[in-house]
Amino acid sequence: MQEKNLTRRNFSSCDIRKFNFKNSILTETNFTDAIAGIPKVIKVGLIVILLFLATVGGIILSYSGRGIGWIVSDNKLFVVEFGWITLTLIALFFIAVLLRVEFRGTIVFSTILFVSVLILVLALSPEVKSVLKPAASILMGFLTFIGVIAGFSFLVEISLMLEVIGSTNPNQTIFSGLGAVAIMLGIGCGNFMYLESLQQLVSSLFVSLSSLAIIVYVRQEALAGDKKYLFFKSLAIALCSMLGTNFRKADLTDANFIGAILGNTDFREANLTRTCWLNAKNLDKARVKGTYLENKKIRQLVLSGDGREQNFDGLDLQGCNLQHADLTDASFIGANLTKATLEGANLTRSKLVKTQLYATNLTNAILTGACIEDWAISLDTKLEGIKCEYIYMRLETKEDPDPWRKPDNRKEIFQDGDFTDFIAPIIKTQQLYQTQNVDPRKVAENYSILDIFHHEGVDPSAAAIAFQRLIEKYPESGLQVLSIEGRGNDKIHFQAQVSDDVNRSLLSQEYNEIYHQIKSGSYQDLLALLAGVAEKDKHIIELRNLLETALKQNRFYVQTYQETRNIEIRKGDYRETSVNDQGSYVEGDSIQDFPQPES
């Protein structure tokens, strides 16, 4: 089957083993509990062929072992030393395999070493004058050496193919057992057919049985994902998937493979953006080259949805579906999660330092205690409904295990919607900086930020006086208002610049105490207090007026301060209005109307 557009089709619980979806559009298609892979009839025929080949491999291995016995037992035809040299080099080859030396390099090195030793022995042998004996010894030794390596490699591949093919069968151990029986049958035939001497039997059994033990070891390590033996497993999967379900170059964006059986399936070059793999089976025996499923750690994560306390630093998880995943205490430092979905995921205390989250869906995710230092979000990063009690803007160190906490007051937590409001102006400012070719990370390096939140409205006069008193009490803090933002009478949030070494939690607590102390007085006392400071400090009046303006806005409102200008950012409309002699703020149809910064 090879159709072009199968968007939103339902293949739930279907047998798709005979289907070819190559180049098809399968966006949002449902493959829940589907069975993919090799059709039953083809699988049975292939298993019979593999069992026959396993027997042939056993014969090759045993006959190769007999070659050593021939050399050693027949000193009339062979140079005896060549038999022991061949056996020694075979032993070195297997030692290299057990030591996990790269397999192809081992073969090349062993062959070169074998030829070199034979030439050396031939040159030093007193029987060199007899051309027949050295020539026969070299030929037999070489055939023995190559035969052992070929038989060993052949049987490793056959045993892995039996394992890969049987992965979709509940009784898959039967295939492994039948393979072992076929190999032993081949070894038995090779040992006892035309047996001429005891030396041949001993050498054949020694080489065959020792090879068989190492074959079992290499097979297990390859199935476990050992990179040194990955060549064998990759080849077995590639050969088997040629006869299985084909998704090559298909568009599987937002497709659903929950609980599907996917062994012997080809996913090469497929678009797997936000594809759901939860509880899918035998995905490690599918052909996934060129996709994020190649990485064992990522594959296990998307299959289980459990990434607790795991390290994913620097990994490319672009487009992964981690919806509702448990990522508590996980580390994603420098990882790429672009276009991934983390909807409803638990990212409690996770490290999102320099993590790429462009166009990522974080809707309803839990971010309490997460570190978001220099995380890379974009205007299309979805942050609605995030649950977060507090956040860290810097990664913890031994010297500072609780750095740059937001809210700054460690006795406070974000209330519902606060985190989204906290991030929203950052995104808007990011959009503003983009149009001005300004790197917001450079701006952030210039100072630390103190965030102060008011819920259920704020008294502008009390807030302005409280803030001014805080400045007077801590002149070393470098306290200076940067922005004020609000949503009508519901919430007010303003940010202030402070020096790096200031205890922001203490400043936040002090502000709240001063504010509530002022607000607890009578209205007449507040007016008198405001009149008393009005002439002394016009900044209090300006701050009060800005807070009153923010309270009057029905939509999201931000007043941003910089060194030379004030900027008002709203959702959807911007207009140009004179604020003071420092600059102006802009309002128009789009953010692009914002003028370039003055030099």
Selection from 119-133, 174-188, 533-547 with the highest mean pLDDT: 174-188
Peptide bond into 595 cis (omega under 30): no
Is the confidence at residue 181, as pLDDT, over 80? Answer: yes
Q: What integer pLDDT is reported at residue 483 of this predicted model?
A: 65
Is the Cβ–Cβ distance between 466 and 515 less than 8 Å?
yes
Residue from 19, 31, 532 nearest 276 by CA? 31
**Least confident range of 33-47, 359-373, 424-438:** 424-438
Is the confidence at residue 549, as pLDDT, over 80? Answer: no
Q: What integer pLDDT is reported at residue 346 of this predicted model?
A: 97
Percent of the chain with pLDDT over 70: 68
Residue from 362, 388, 389 nearest 375 by CA? 362
Q: What is the distance between the alpha carbons of residues 424 and 13, in angstroms, rounded to a whole number? A: 43
Q: What integer pLDDT is reported at residue 551 of this predicted model?
A: 58
Give the side-chain half-sphere CA count within 13 A for 70: 20
Q: What is the distance between the alpha carbons of residues 202 and 147, in angstroms, rounded to a whole number? A: 17
Average pLDDT for 552-563: 46
Is the confidence at residue 140, as pLDDT, over 50? Answer: yes
Tokens of 262: 């996917």
Is the Cβ–Cβ distance between 419 and 398 less than 8 Å?
no
Average pLDDT for 40-59: 89
**Least confident range of 125-134, 359-368, 554-563:** 554-563
Is the Cβ–Cβ distance between 454 and 421 less than 8 Å?
no
Q: What is the distance between the alpha carbons of residues 561 and 110, in angstroms, rounded to a whole number? A: 72
Is the Cβ–Cβ distance between 453 and 491 less than 8 Å?
yes
578 confidence band (pLDDT: 50, 70, 90) = very low
Average pLDDT for 216-236: 85
**Least confident range of 66-80, 195-209, 222-236, 271-285:** 66-80
Q: What is the distance between the alpha carbons of residues 261 and 165, in angstroms, rounded to a whole number? A: 12
Q: How far is residue 106 from each of residues 68, 156, 240, 290, 402, measured CA to CA in Å?
A: 21, 16, 26, 27, 52
Is the Cβ–Cβ distance between 570 and 549 less than 8 Å?
no
27 dihedral zone (left: phi>0; alpha: psi -120 to 50; beta): beta
Q: What integer pLDDT is reported at residue 65 of this predicted model?
A: 79
Percent of the chain with pLDDT over 90: 28
Is the confidence at residue 477, as pLDDT, over 70? Answer: yes
Q: What is the distance between the alpha carbons of residues 198 and 55, in angstroms, rounded to a whole number? A: 23
Tokens of 351: 């490290």
| Interval 102-113: pLDDT, tens | 666 666 666 676
Q: What integer pLDDT is reported at residue 591 of this predicted model?
A: 30
31 confidence band (pLDDT: 50, 70, 90) = very high
| Interval 308-317: pLDDT, tens | 999 999 999 9
Average pLDDT for 121-135: 59
What sign does the CA torsion over 509, 514, 515, 521 have?
positive
Average pLDDT for 205-211: 83
Is the confidence at residue 431, as pLDDT, over 50? Answer: no
Q: What is the DSSP string of 334-364?
A: T-B-TT-B-TT-B-TT-B-TT-EETT-B-TT
What are the beta bridge partners of residue 496? 450, 481
Give the start-to-end residue ranges of the domains of the chain: 40-237, 440-593
| Interval 332-381: pLDDT, tens | 999 999 999 999 999 999 999 989 998 999 999 999 999 988 888 877 88
Please name the residues in contact with 15: beta carbons below 8 A apart, sequence gap of 6 or more.
Answer: 34, 35
Q: What integer pLDDT is reported at residue 139 of this predicted model?
A: 73
